[in-house]
Amino acid sequence: MPGKPLLAVIFLTLLLIQGCEQTPMVERLQEKGVLRVATVTGPLTCHLGEKGPAGLEYELIRDFARALELTPRFSIYPTRQAAIEALKTGREDMAAGFIIPFSDEETGHYVSTGIIQTSPAFAHFMGNKSFDPESMPQTPITIPAGGYAEKLLEKRPVSLQPLGGTSEEAVLSLVDQGRHHYTLTSKAQLNAHANLLPRLVPGSTLEQPLHVRWLFPRFYDSSLRDRADAFLRQQKESGHLAQLRNKYIDKLPKRDFVTRRDFWKHVQDRLPKYLELFKQAGDETGIDWRLLAAIGYQESHWNAKAVSPTGVRGIMMLTQATAKQQKITNRLDPAQSIIGGARHLLWMEQRIPSRIQGNELLWFTLASYNIGYGHLEDARILTQRQNGDPDKWEDVKQRLPLLAKKEYYKTLKHGRARGSEPVAYVENIRYFYSLLVYWDNQANGRDCTTPRDDYLRLALKN
C-alpha cells in the first residue's frame, strides 16, 4: 500500500490535472502570450516573399493569433506527418500546413472547419502523356507516404510509390525535375506551383472534394478549435478568405510556358556569371540584388552584349545619356552596366514625391525607369483629372496607355508616349522578382522562420 508521501503527491497531481482541465486552452495560451504553430514550407503555407514571411495560411494564422492577442511562433517540419506528430506530443498548439485530412475527423486531434476546398489532380513531367488509371495501371504514382493521396489511391488499380520523409511540395519538385514522372496532388497546389515548376504539367482530376483544415490537440479542451472555427467563419463572411485564395491560388500572375521555361533555364546558365555583380551593386546602393537582376532579365535576358535598334545597350540596356549621367564608359561591360542601372534607379526614385512610399514607390520608380519621369508625371496628372489617386499605381497604370491617344497627350506637357509599355514592364519585373526571391530562398534553405536580418533588404532606399 502506498505511503502517505506518495499518496499526497498523487493527490496533488490529480488536483493540478483537474485545474488544467478546468482552464480553457485559449486562456492558458493567453497567459503565455504565444501560439505555437507546426507547418511546412511552401507557397500556400509559410514561405519568404519579397518583403518577408508570406503564404495563405501564414496570413490567416497571423490574423487569428492577433484576434486572440497572441504572437504566432511558426516551426517548420519536413513533412505534414511530422508536424502532426509534434502536435500529438504537445510541442505545438496547432498544425496548419495546408493539411488535408482524408476524413472529417482524425483520431488524436480536433479538426477545424474547412478553409479551402480543392480536388485531387494528377500531374506529370513535361513530355509524358497524361495519366490514365484505366490504360496505365502499372505506371508508378509517386506520392508522400501517409498522406491523403495514398489513402485516395490505395484501393484503386494503380501502382503506388510512397516516399517517406518527403513533403507534397518536394514530390512536385521531383516530378518537375524528371526524377519521378507522375504524382497525385491537388488543383490548389498545382495552381500555386505553376510558375515555380515549369515542367510540371496538370493532368486529369478525381471527382472528390478535398478540404484543407487546421488541427488541434485533443488532450486539451476544444476552445482553441472553437475560436478558430468562429474566426474562419468571419473570414469567409467578410470575403477576406476569398481574397487570400485569389492572391495565392486563383489569380496568380501567369506567363506562357516558353517564358517560364526560358527564365528558369537562364537562371541556371546565365545568372551565375553575373550573380556577384548584382550583389555588389545591391550592397553599394541598398537595392535588393534580386530586384536588380529582375530588371536586368526584363531588359536583356542577362545578355551583356544586347543592343536594341534604338541604341540602348548592355545587361541593363542603358541609353547613352544615362551612361554619361552615371559616368559609365562602356555599356557592354556587365559590371559597369549593372552598377549604372542601379544608380540610375536610385536617381529615378529620388524624383518620386516623398509622400509615396513602399510598393507604390517601387512601381512608380520602375515605370519612370522605363518611360521617363516626365511621361509618368503626365499620367499622374491625367489620373487626378479623372478623379483617380495619382499616388496609387493601380490607378495610374490604367491611365498610362492613354498617353498614346492624341485626345489625351495633346493636353499634357510631354506629349505622346507608348504608355502601355511601362505597365507591362512593371508587371513583368514584379513577376521575375517574385521568382528570383523564391529561387534564392530555396537555394539558401531559407523559410519563413529565418531571422529578418538574414534575408530582408529594402527594394529601394526610402
Residues with a catalytic annotation lie at: 299
* Phi, psi (degrees; rounded to nearest 5) at 358: 65, -145
- Are the C-beta atoms of residues 51 and 458 closer than 8 Å to each other? no
Instruction: Count the Cβ atoms, other than its own, within 10 Å of residue 75.
Output: 15
Report which DSSP code applies to 404: G
* Phi, psi (degrees; rounded to nearest 5) at 418: -80, 80
Phi-psi label, residue 52: left if phi above 0, alpha if psi -120 to 50, beta otherwise: left
- Are the C-beta atoms of residues 341 and 294 closer than 8 Å to each other? no
Dihedral sign for Cα atoms in the order 197, 362, 44, 36: positive
Residue where the block lists cell 503626365 = 378
b/e code 112-125 from CB counts within 10 Å (16+ = b): bbbbbebebbbbbb
Reading the block at residue 71, the C-alpha cell is 504572437
Residue where the block lists cell 482553441 = 224
Phi-psi label, residue 173: left if phi above 0, alpha if psi -120 to 50, beta otherwise: alpha
Rg (CA), the chain: 27
Closest CA to 244 of 429, 102, 63: 63
Residue 194's identity, in one-letter code, is A
What is the residue-wise DSSP string for 298-357? HHHSS-TT-B-TTS-BTTTTB-HHHHHHTT-S-TTSHHHHHHHHHHHHHHHHHHS-TT--
- Are the C-beta atoms of residues 175 and 183 closer than 8 Å to each other? yes
Distance CA 80, CA 170 (A): 12
* Phi, psi (degrees; rounded to nearest 5) at 140: -65, 135
Distance of CA 125 to the CA centre of its chain: 23
Residue where the block lists cell 532606399 = 461
Identify the three-state secondary structure at position 254.
Answer: coil
- Are the C-beta atoms of residues 134 and 188 closer than 8 Å to each other? no
